[in-house]
Structure 1
C-alpha cells in the first residue's frame, strides 16, 4: 500500500499537514502521533494494516509540517482535540476510527468522548484515553504558571532555531528519546526538520516543549463519567516496557493504569479489548509486526468497517 498523497488542510492559522494511504472511498482511520513526534511515526505500521481502509496520519499543530499557532496564542490540550474535528470537517467525514500513539491516544480519547457519535473504533498504542491527575493536583497551578511564563520568555528572546548537522540532530534526538531506534529516529526527523544552508533545523514550535502545554490532567470522577459517554469499540495495546505515566518519575506506580483498565472494562464491557505486547513505548515504530496483526483483527472484527 503506497503513500497516496500529502495533504494540506486549511485552518485559520495556516494549515494542518497530513499524509494518506489507500482509497478515499474506503472507511477512514485518522492516525494521531505522540507528543513532539509527527505523522512519519506511522510509516512502518500502516503498510502492514488492512488495505481496505483509508489511513490519514496528521501532524498536530506546531509539529511536523503543520503550521505553528499564531504568535501569542497558546497550545492547550483542547486545541489539539479541536484539530481532529477540523480535519474531519475538511475531509467531510461524519464517522471514522482513530489510531493514537501516546499523546495522540490521549487527544483521541477526549475527542471520542466529546463527539461519541463520530468515532467507530479507538485504538490506543501505549496510551490511555485521558491522563489522570493522580499525583498532579499539587502541581496543576504551577503547570499553568510555567506554561504562561515559558511562552512569554520565548516571545521575549525570539531566538532563531538551532541549526546542527544531520548526525548531531539524530544523536540529540535519540538521547532524548531512548525508546526510539536509529531507523525510527531518522524517519521522524525526516518530517520533523528542515534542511538549511548549514545543516538541519527542527520544525516544531518551541512553545510545545513542555508537556504541561499539551496534556490535560483529569480527575478519576471525570474519567469514569467520560468513559460512559464512549460509543466506540476500544483496543488498548500496552507495551511491556512502555510508559505508565506522563511523568516518568511516577512510572513505577501501576495503580492508575489498573484503575483505567478496570473502568474501561466496566463501562465498555465487550466493546473493550486489552492486549500487552513485548517492546517499549515505540513498539509500533520499532517492531510494527508485533502490533499489526492485533490491529488487523480488531479493525476487521465485529462491527466491520463503517463508510464515511
Structure 2
C-alpha cells in the first residue's frame, strides 16, 4: 500500500509562514523534500508514494513559492535565504538528522550545516552552483543580480490574471522539461483563481510567486562559487550523498552553457574524490523533471539509498 498525504503544515516565520505537505508518521525518520527553481511542494506528489513508508516526508514551499508567504517588498529572493528557511524547518526535526531530497538548495544546506544532515539526495543538480568561467564572472554576476532586482522594483508592474491556458503555456516556455501534465499540477499550488474579464467574464489565474521573482533568471538568485571554493565547501559534507543525473537533464544553471557537460563531470569527480565511499553517482534516462514525469525511474534507487545503513543504493 502506497504512503498517503497526512497533513498540511504551516511554520510561523517573521514575514508570515512557510507552508509544507507531509506524508507518513511524525515519529519516523524525517526526509526534507526541497523543490527546484520556481517550483513548489507539489513537485514530490508523484514520487513520495513510491518511496518507503517508514519515513516522514516533509515537502516545503520556499518563501514566495506555492502557499508560503512572500517576502516583504524590497527583500530579494536569494538562494541563501532558502537555505535559512530549510534550517528553520530542520530545527523541528532534530531528534534524528534528516535526509535532504533536493533539486537544488539541499546541497548548500548540507555544506553549511553538515551535522544536521544524515543523507543527501541530489536530483539532477549540483550541491553548489558552479561558475564555469571562474573568478572573472563572480562579482559581475552579483552586480547584475542587484541591478536586476532594482529594475524590477522600479517598473512597478502589477500582478495580472491570465487564462489557465496562457498561464500554463508561459510556465512551460520557461520550464521546457516539465511537461503539460506536471506543469498543470505545479500550477495548482502556484496560482490563485481570480474573477476577471479575459475576453469574456471568466476565472483567471494569478501567479502566487511574486511577480518580480518570475522575471528573474537562476543566475540572479544563486550564489555561484569557483571550482576551488566548490572543493573546499564539499569537504565540509558529513552526509552520505547520492547524485542522480538525468541523461537529458540540465548540465549548467546558466542555460546558455548547458551544452557543456564538463562542469558536471568536475562536480561528480570532485565529490567522488572528496567523499570516496560516501558518494554514489547514478544516471537515469529522462530530463530534469524525471522525479515528476517518470518517478518510477528514480524511486527504486532512492528507496535503496534511504534504507541502506551505509547509504549506498543497490545497482539498478
Q: 1:188 to 1:92 in 2, by over 3 A?
A: same
Q: Pick from 136, 139, 145 the counterpart of residue 143 of structure 2.
A: 145
Q: 1:158 to 1:93 in 2, by over 3 A?
A: farther
Structure 1 residue matching 2:206: 3-state secondary structure: strand
8 Å Cα contact 2:25-2:55 kept in structure 1: yes
Cα distance in 1 between the residues matched to 2:96 and 2:156: 41
How much does 1:269 deviate?
A: 1.0
Cα distance in 2 between the residues matched to 1:125 and 1:237: 5
8 Å Cα contact 1:150-1:207 kept in structure 2: no
Q: Greater relative contact order: 1 or 2 (C-alpha under 8 angstroms, separation 6 or more)? A: 1
Q: Pick from 72, 75, 86 the counterpart of residue 73 of structure 1.
A: 75
| TM-score for both structures, normalised by structure 1 | 0.93
Cα distance in 2 between the residues matched to 1:92 and 1:272: 24
1:20-42 Cα distance to aligned partner (Å, 9 max, x none): 11100000000010110111011
Q: 1:11 to 1:94 in 2, by over 3 A?
A: farther
8 Å Cα contact 1:88-1:94 kept in structure 2: no
1:200 corresponds in structure 2 to 205
Is 1:265 the counterpart of 2:267? The answer is: no
Cα distance in 2 between the residues matched to 1:64 and 1:156: 25
List 4+ stretches of structure 1 deviating above 3 A.
90-94, 136-142
Unmatched segments (≥5 aa) in structure 2? 197-203, 312-316
1:47 corresponds in structure 2 to 49
Pairs aligned (count) = 300
Cα distance in 2 between the residues matched to 1:284 and 1:46: 9
CA RMSD of aligned residues (A): 1.6
8 Å Cα contact 2:30-2:93 kept in structure 1: no
How much does 1:16 deviate?
A: 0.7
Cα distance in 1 between the residues matched to 2:208 and 2:275: 39
1:166-197 Cα distance to aligned partner (Å, 9 max, x none): 12211221222111111100110000000111
8 Å Cα contact 1:62-1:205 kept in structure 2: yes
How much does 1:206 deviate?
A: 3.0
Unmatched segments (≥5 aa) in structure 1? none
How much does 1:93 deviate?
A: 5.3
How much does 1:223 deviate?
A: 1.2
Q: 1:93 to 1:77 in 2, by over 3 A?
A: farther
Structure 2 residue matching 1:280: 3-state secondary structure: coil
Alignment of 1:27-176 (within 5 A): 27-92=29-94, 95-101=97-103, 104=104, 107-135=105-133, 137-176=135-174
8 Å Cα contact 2:134-2:227 kept in structure 1: no
Q: Pick from 296, 305, 308 the counterpart of residue 303 of structure 2.
A: 296
How much does 1:290 deviate?
A: 0.3
| TM-score for both structures, normalised by structure 2 | 0.91
2:227 corresponds in structure 1 to 220
8 Å Cα contact 1:192-1:203 kept in structure 2: yes
